[in-house]
Amino acid sequence: MKRYLLFLLFFSATLVASPAIQLIKKENNDSNKTLLVIGGIHGNEPGGYFAAAILAMHYKITSKNLWIVPNLNSESIIQNKRGIHGDMNRKFAHIDKHDKDKPYVEAIKKVILDPKVSLVLNLHDGHGFYRSSYKGSIFNPNAWGQTCVIDQCSLDQNQSFGNLNDIALQVRDNVNKKLLAKHHQFNVKNTKTKYIDEQMQLSLTYFAVTHNKPAFAIETSKSLSSLSQKVFYQLLAIEEYMKIMGIKYKRDFSLNESELSKIINNYGSLEINDNILIQLSNIKKTLSFVPIKSNNNDFHFSHPLGKIKRTKGEFLVFIGNKLITTLKPQFFKMDHNCKESFELLIDGQQKSTKKASTFFVMNNFKVLKEKKYRVNIIGFSSKKGGDESGVTISLKDMHKHYSIDKDAKIYRVEFYKEDNFCSMLMVQFK
């Protein structure tokens, strides 16, 4: 239940449990009209999945509904590969029962076919810049970048938003009013899947349209100069689709490259076992002697693209395809009867500080001595050794090598009960 509460806190949305995929729902009671946005079917196309994550974290939906699957192919994302088990977007017509992608494909099919889903967007980064006639090696009809992709002009049956070509043209025209550069222009690419493209007949969008679900792919160009540019165009296009559907929204940032770059590089936090909370932005590449369990650790991210990969006894921390830090563990038994807060003297004032939290210090701090507890302040060398409570400490007393951040301002304050680990606080010097 804790995981759901974390996502509720950060996203103001509902995280729906699934054995395979993460589905974030931002819903209102005024309509069953729902836009489904899917990111990360290809792990080496970060514009799509970072856009989906920002949509989850920074948009408030005020009418109708938005569902988001930010990282459909999460294992391929952390390896920055199109598909570690083959191309997941070629498995929607048929998939072998032993295929490792099968749980993900079957799960997203079920979501697509939900009666509430009114329109589907599949987010990609494609090569080059699509043009209807050949104008160079990256500007040509074989390119996919900067396109609204449709499988056919319209759906066969009566369906809201079934006029696929008209909708794609409207999105194209409105996006092209806000280009960052003239050659970034969007176009509509009709693959005419049923008659021409056998490979696309295996895709997610074609699965949707053959089940009378309006579906589009948004392809930003891999040739754009930055991830923030790709995300900019993804969000620009998504907002146009929301407007067409009558979905009203608010975002907590201005849609421009500079703001998006800041958001993309804000990696949020990682909570471990309910007793450690690490802020991931500006973190060092490696943290050593992290006190965790030898197995069955609980890792919870505030960022929807957060994922842990354990390898060679270490824990690699990813946000999308970005390796943020590596945790080198020191294994401890956990004490489950520890205090929920600890008493500290911070800049001369006594304060009760919750476990797994950060406290801020201008000049100095002291952890007040408590019976049965031992304190270890990582980066501070005590002359008395053992318990380091009851000692007044300032930034000059800390060894920079042991900070967790690149600016050498944040350090770990660990609490133990006998030989068992209790909790960790972070002290941040201003």
pLDDT tens string 4-38:
333 333 444 666 656 689 999 999 988 889 999 99
Mean pLDDT (whole number) for 398-408: 97
Query: 314-337 burial, b for 16+ CB within 10 Å, e for fewer?
Result: ebbbbbbbbebbbbebeebebbee
Q: What pLDDT is stored for residue 157 in this prediction? A: 77
Alpha carbon distance 286, 288 (integer Å):
6
Query: Are the C-beta atoms of 204 and 108 separated by less than 8 Å?
Result: yes
Alpha carbon distance 188, 41 (integer Å):
21
Alpha carbon distance 40, 34 (integer Å):
20
Q: What is the DSSP letter of 142?
A: T
Alpha carbon distance 369, 387 (integer Å):
9
State if pTM tops 0.75. yes
Alpha carbon distance 241, 271 (integer Å):
35
Q: What is the DSSP letter of 177?
A: G
pLDDT category, 382, cuts 50, 70, 90? confident
Find where tokens 């054995």 sit. Answer: 19
- To the nearest whole number, what is the mean pLDDT of the chain? 94
Quote the distance between the C-alpha of residue 199 and its chain's center.
29
Q: Residue 296 class from Cβ within 10 Å (0-12 exposed, 13-18 middle, 19+ buried)?
A: exposed
| Strands 187-190 and 147-150, sheet pairing | parallel
Domains of the chain by start residue, with CATH: 2-264 (3.40.630.10), 268-430 (no CATH)
Q: Per residue in 263-305, pLDDT tens?
A: 999 999 999 999 999 999 999 999 999 999 999 999 999 999 9
Query: Are the C-beta atoms of 38 and 204 separated by less than 8 Å?
Result: yes
Q: What pLDDT is stored for residue 18 in this prediction? A: 63
Query: Are the C-beta atoms of 199 and 191 separated by less than 8 Å?
Result: no
Find where tokens 């007793």 sit. Answer: 275
Alpha carbon distance 178, 174 (integer Å):
7
Find where tokens 């409105």 sit. Answer: 174
Query: Are the C-beta atoms of 221 and 184 separated by less than 8 Å?
Result: yes
